Amino acid sequence: MDAVLIHADTIRSATLRHEIPLAILDPFTYLEMDGRRVVVVSVLEADRVAEVAPDVEIIDPYALGMDQLIAQGMRWDQAEVELALIACQKFGISRVVVPGETPVVIADRLRVEGIEVVIDEPEFIRRRRVKNELEIDGVRRAQAAANGAMGVAAEMLRRATAADGVLALDGEPLTSERLRDAMREHAASMGAPMPGDVIVAAEGAAASGHDPGSGPLPAGKPIVIDIWPEDEASACWADMTRTFVAAGEAAEDVVAMHGLCLEALDAVKATARPGITGRELFDIACEIFEAAGHPTQRTKAEGETLNEGFYHSLGHGVGLEVHEYPALGRTGNEPLVPGDVIAVEPGTYRQDYGGVRLEDLLLITQDGCEVLTSFPYDLRP
3-state SS string for 5-31: EEEECCCCCHHHHHHCCCCCCCCEEEE
Q: Where in the chain is CATH 3.90.230.10? A: 133-371
Note the pLDDT of residue 126.
96
Q: Where in the chain is CATH 3.40.350.10? A: 3-129
CA–CA dist 6, 98 (Å, integer): 6
| Percent of all residues in the chain with a pLDDT value above 90, rounded to a whole number | 98
- CA distances to 277, 281, 314, 328, 340 from 336, rounded to whole Å, are 6, 10, 14, 10, 7
Class of domain 3-129: alpha beta
Report residue 230's pLDDT band, with 50, 70 and 90 as the boundaries. Answer: very high
pLDDT tens digits, 285-307 = 999 999 999 999 999 999 999 99
pLDDT tens digits, 341-370 = 999 999 999 998 999 999 999 999 999 999
| Percent of all residues in the chain with a pLDDT value above 70, rounded to a whole number | 100
Which of 204, 202, 194, 193 is CA-nearest to residue 175? 202
Q: Is 43 helix (H, G, I), strand (E, B) or coil?
A: helix
Instruction: Judge whether 296 and 290 are in contact, CB under 8 Å.
Output: yes
Mean pLDDT value across the chain: 97
pLDDT tens digits, 51-69 = 999 999 999 999 999 999 9
pLDDT at position 1 over 70: no
**pTM for this predicted structure:** 0.95
Tell the CATH topology of 133-371.
Creatine Amidinohydrolase (3.90.230)
